[in-house]
Amino acid sequence: MELCVSNYRIHFAKEILGVPFTVGSVEIAKARDPDRALRAAEIRFARQHGLVDWRERADTADIAALGDGSRG
């Protein structure tokens, strides 16, 4: 059985007066699924900014698939 892995970019944004402003983004390579990629990005974003929780700096996290990470 072969695992399908993909690359993802997660954008973190702070909403001000209902308008989202990007405060950072994280790329995750070779995640098994979008949920795992999102969780990994949330942890990495928090660590990069010295936070306990990513929500201290951002209100939303939006995920975008960058493509298949497998070679073949």
* H/E segment holding residue 23: strand 19-31
Contact, 49 vs 57, CB < 8 A? yes
The domain ranges of the chain are: 1-29
The model carries a pTM of 0.83
Q: How many residues does the chain have?
A: 72
Contact, 52 vs 37, CB < 8 A? no
Q: Given this model, what pLDDT does residue 67 score?
A: 74
Q: Percentage of the chain surpassing pLDDT 70?
A: 89
The pLDDT-based confidence of 5 (bands split at 50, 70, 90) is confident
Q: What are phi and psi of 56, to 5 degrees?
A: -70, -25
Position 3 pLDDT exceeds 70 = no
